[in-house]
Structure 1
């Protein structure tokens, strides 16, 4: 896998929705090659989590785009992107409802209620949960 996130130096500032006056990123150019490990280090609020969340399109760049294995993730259907990219934050989000519903959330809404118990258990084991 090759991940590239680029936004030229003329990129417009990125402002998160919950803090519209906070400048998180002015520009970024990042390339991570297959088999490499990368650590994002910085003070609280400097944009580490934002950069990490960009490939899954939790945030979209105003200019520039994330590319994964040559595919422009901005041009892909959001569901297709999330089938290609997975992100586990240091504090995972648990949504209202049952744990079963949280696990089944990856299935489309019309199938979420029909996900088999075996598939739920298999997902838990796969995640070492």
Structure 2
């Protein structure tokens, strides 16, 4: 099957595209990440979110350590063809490595950042390394 659909994306000079991740059903923004061509191809092929980790310089299968995988319901490309929107079902209800539902848990109030989401699970419990 042709992968010419990947050529429609306006990739950055380093071969990445920003990805906004939204929860199916609630519409809540869960997280922001990056994808390279392989990550997008694998996401489309498997139905599970795969990202590119800029810090680790490798593919990152969401939930590979935590079990909090994202089942992809829809992939959209914006009008400039340089940003993706993934609509996902967040398994386990935790998208953030801090143990919160969403990575966007800090809200600006009176010039101060306030955390308005509880930690649902201690990250030490999520990311146990044996």
The verdict on a shared fold, with TM-score over 0.5 as the criterion, is: no
Q: Rg bigger for which structure?
A: 1
Higher helix share: 1
Q: Please report the TM-score for the alignment, with normalisation by the length of structure 1.
A: 0.28
